[in-house]
């Protein structure tokens, strides 16, 4: 190898080392990494209907005269209510609740209707549920009431015929209500 080539090779090596040294100096830096932790507690959801037996005890004998109807029976002209206790006691979020007749009611007399109010002016259906709102950790002070009434007559033969058919069958009606709680959206 000629002297000129050796010199150029040495010069290239020295130049390469110098460039690497400068590059290392430009890219050298201190780096630290710190990790922080935090916590967030998820709010508890424990909405419930608090009737202890798991069933609602509907009041059937509140509106009849024992001289005209056997105890614990319903007939045209009777009415009553079903108390439902809605609880937000152990829940840590606000809720809105709805109560409506279930589609699983059996042997409901044709002319018996459910209502939101004791005066039987607002009918309660699956489309128009009884509703309310509860704050976090608050049990309703009052029970929610589902009212029912079987009107005595409306003056039509069709109405009386349906009542008579229901009376002849004397079937046992089972009432079920769907009670649903939904979290209220938090406001910030």
Q: What is the band of 62 on the pLDDT scale with cuts at 50, 70, 90? A: low
The DSSP 8-state label assigned to residue 174 in this structure reads: B
So what's the pLDDT on residue 131?
86
User: In the block, which residue shows the tokens 């079987």?
Assistant: 150
- For residue 52, pLDDT beyond 60: no
- For residue 122, pLDDT beyond 90: yes
Q: Is 176 helix (H, G, I), strand (E, B) or coil?
A: coil
For the CA atoms of the chain, what is the radius of gyration? 38
- For residue 141, pLDDT beyond 60: no
Would you kindly state where each structural domain of the chain is located, as residue ranges? 48-183
Q: Which of 187, 159, 181 is nearest to 95 (CA)?
A: 181
Mean pLDDT of the chain: 78
Which neighbouring-strand residues pair with 179?
Answer: 99
- For residue 72, pLDDT beyond 90: no
More confident residue, 63 or 89: 89
CA 27/CA 24 separation, integer angstroms: 5
CA 53/CA 57 separation, integer angstroms: 9
Question: What is the number of residues in the chain?
Answer: 188
So what's the pLDDT on residue 19?
62
- For residue 120, pLDDT beyond 70: yes
Q: In this structure, which topology does domain 48-183 adopt according to CATH?
A: Immunoglobulin-like (2.60.40)
Q: What is the band of 143 on the pLDDT scale with cuts at 50, 70, 90? A: confident
Q: Which sign does the torsion angle of CA 148, 152, 156, 161 carry?
A: positive
Q: What is the band of 35 on the pLDDT scale with cuts at 50, 70, 90? A: confident
- For residue 81, pLDDT beyond 60: yes
* Mean local confidence (pLDDT), 105-115: 88
**Count of CA atoms in the C-beta half-sphere (13 A) of 21:** 6
Q: What is the band of 115 on the pLDDT scale with cuts at 50, 70, 90? A: very high
Q: Which of 170, 175, 174 is nearest to 73 (CA)?
A: 170
Nearest 5°: phi and psi at 101? -60, 140
More confident residue, 152 or 139: 152
pLDDT in tens, 16-25: 676 666 556 5
So what's the pLDDT on residue 47?
74
So what's the pLDDT on residue 121?
93
């Amino acid at each position: 190898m000629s002297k000129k080539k050796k010199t150029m090779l040495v010069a290239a090596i020295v130049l390469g080392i110098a460039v690497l040294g400068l590059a290392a100096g430009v890219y050298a830096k201190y780096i630290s990494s710190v990790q922080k932790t935090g916590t967030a507690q998820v709010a508890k959801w424990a909405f419930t209907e608090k009737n202890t037996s798991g069933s609602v005890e509907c009041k059937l004998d509140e509106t009849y005269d024992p001289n005209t109807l056997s105890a614990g029976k319903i007939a045209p002209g009777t009415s009553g209510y079903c108390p439902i206790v809605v609880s937000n006691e152990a829940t840590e979020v606000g809720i809105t609740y709805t109560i409506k007749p279930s589609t699983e009611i059996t042997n409901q007399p044709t002319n018996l209707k459910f209502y939101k109010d004791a005066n039987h002016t607002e009918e309660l259906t699956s489309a128009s549920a009884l509703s309310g709102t509860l704050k976090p950790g608050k049990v309703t002070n009052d029970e929610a009431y589902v009212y029912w009434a079987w009107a005595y007559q409306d003056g039509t033969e069709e109405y009386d015929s349906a009542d008579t058919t229901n009376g002849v069958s004397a079937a046992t009606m089972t009432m079920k209500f769907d009670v649903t709680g939904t979290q209220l959206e938090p406001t910030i």
